[in-house]
Copies of this chain bind each other. A is one copy, B any other.
Amino acid sequence: MRKEQSTNAENIRKIIALCPLSYTQTVIGGRWKPLILDRLMHGIQRYSEIRKSIPPITERMLTMQLKELERDGLIARAEYGKVPMRVEYTLTEKGASLKTVLTAMYHWGSEFNTTLTAT
């Protein structure tokens, strides 16, 4: 949760007002969000499937990020069944339209990531 009054929080508002780039960065920022959105774009929808497709993520992190993505209108949540509950997430129109951004990031990353060059 944010401390709505901190300089930190105010700065986010200021830079979002300053440049559209910052809004995008705020919404897809964080370690896991691009990864999660990528999975959703590839048709993976169930909570448990997403989790399996991103081994190092913890349940807590996945849950939190999904909540934020939902709050920001990028994904929609749907429950099926009751107790061994089943939940599916799908991209909203807004979320799906991030595809251009993520695709560009993906291409750039595969071209310039040099951290694995130590064959």
Instruction: Render A87-119 as a binary contact track against B, CB cut-off 8 A, 1 for contact.
Output: 000000010011011111111111111111000
Q: Which residues of B contact A34 (CB under 8 A)?
A: 19, 21-22, 24-25
- Does A29 interact with chain B (Cβ within 8 Å)? yes
Number of this chain's copies in the complex: 2
B24 engages A106 (CB within 8 Å): yes
Q: How far is the CA of A34 from the CA of B14 in the complex (A)?
A: 14
Can you add 19 more A-B contacts, CB < 8 Å, to A19-B38, A23-B109, A101-B108?
Answer: A12-B31, A14-B55, A15-B32, A16-B113, A16-B115, A16-B116, A18-B54, A20-B107, A20-B109, A20-B110, A21-B106, A21-B109, A22-B31, A23-B113, A97-B111, A97-B112, A98-B108, A103-B104, A104-B104
27 pairs, A vs B, C-beta closer than 8 Å: A10-B56, A14-B56, A15-B54, A15-B56, A17-B116, A18-B54, A18-B55, A19-B34, A19-B38, A19-B106, A20-B106, A20-B109, A21-B34, A21-B38, A21-B105, A22-B34, A23-B109, A24-B108, A25-B29, A73-B114, A97-B108, A97-B112, A100-B108, A101-B101, A101-B104, A101-B105, A103-B104
